[in-house]
Amino acid sequence: MRQLLRRWGVVFHRVVAREKGLPPWLDLLRMCRRLEARGEIRGGRFVAGFSGEQFALPDAVERLRAIRDRAPDGALTTLSAADPLNVTGTLMPGEKIASRSATRIVFRDGVPVAVKEAGSVAILPQDATSDLRRDIQAALAKRA
């Protein structure tokens, strides 16, 4: 359980469902409740949109609060689709993006806005401005 918490920061049923070879959620839930009772982790509702109990490391709670309180800055971040942080279509809404090392995903404020796959770029927001399209192309060029 501690390894999952170190990897994800926040653990809940949908996160555990992505992992292979783990004990059933109810067994992990009992472990989490014991760790919470000892004061080693925190229980609560940390990630909106997911039902059920959630557990987090104290440091993760502080980081989540800082992110929540920060104003969106519109910065673009690229990520390989093979990265474990590619949770698009599994933990995040939208279509699942296949886990291929050559595929890149561009995020703006945590939301996927483009996918580069097999040399072509798909811009996800239908109403993307020409400035956003230009910025996406520049972000993808940096990571090429």
DSSP label of 107: E
Looking at the chain, list the stretches that DSSP marks H as alpha helix, in order from N- to C-terminal side.
2-8, 13-18, 25-37, 58-69, 130-143
**Residue extents of the structural domains in the chain:** 2-69, 76-143
pLDDT surpassing 70 at residue 117: yes
Q: Residue 74: what pLDDT?
A: 84
pLDDT surpassing 80 at residue 6: yes
SS3 of residue 120 by DSSP: strand
> Is pTM beyond 0.85 here?
no
Q: Residue 61: what pLDDT?
A: 92
What does each C-alpha distance from 86 to 4, 17, 38, 45 come to in angstroms?
16, 15, 32, 22
pLDDT surpassing 90 at residue 99: no
Close Cβ partners of 36 (under 8 Å, ≥ 6 residues apart):
42, 43, 55
The first and second tokens of residue 56, run together, are 């987090």
Q: Tell me which H or E stretch contains 121.
A: strand 120-123
